[in-house]
Amino acid sequence: MNKTIALQDLGSKDFKDTWDYQEELFKGILDTKIKNRREDAGLETNNYFLFVEHPHVYTLGKSGDISNLLLDEKQLTEKGATFYKINRGGDITYHGPGQIVGYPILDLDNFFTDIHKYLRFLEEMIILTLAEYGLKAVRSPGETGVWLDVGTPFARKICAMGVRASRWVTMHGFALNVNANLGYFDNIIPCGIRGKAVTSLNVELGKKEVDEAEVKTKLLKHFKTLFEAEFTSIVNV
């Protein structure tokens, strides 16, 4: 089993271009798995972890409801935002500047074949990272992602998640609000959940800006521990 993960920080990159790149890496892993199955080739499969920040964009999961987008095409253009319906789970979410987006593209055969455990580990990575900033983040029963003050009138989401998996290969991932412009969330019903707010790490800490590089370092530390993985080939592209 190959537990090494190639880490790439893509910087600021268009959502569709990043989606295409994810698909390319995802397909490469699947092709290797198929070759191994057909030819008993014994080839190792690769694993990847992409960090990225997207320009303003709204994405709708395959089971999502388009009515949760509260803007028409003209209003999207006025907001400088784009919209895509994509092949992950979950409903609608927003990506934009000030948000750390992580896309682990893993062959779970290298780690464990349990998609629910995978999602819980991603959540735990976020929870442990936020704890380092003094925040008590938790899961909300039946709602994937990471929240604050669950079970109170002040419940608010700080990290959204949505993944796709095929033959135990994953893509898409998580979006952690660090220095996000929360006004863009007013244009959707986030994740299709009414009556619950969205927040960002800088807001919770009462800071103008949080060091995003520091947050990434903490995320990777906890990911590495949870998945018993090693990061290699740190490349900016």
Q: Give me the active site residues, please.
A: 191
- In 3D, which of 64, 49, 51, 66 has the Cα closest to residue 10? 51
C-alpha dihedral (104, 107, 108, 109), degrees to nearest 10: -170
Residue 44: DSSP 8-state: P
Q: Are 95 and 13 in contact (CB under 8 A)?
A: no
Beta bridge partners of 9: 51, 236
What would the two tokens of residue 231 be?
């990061």
Return left, alpha or beta for 173; rule: phi > 0 is left, psi -120 to 50 is alpha, else beta: left
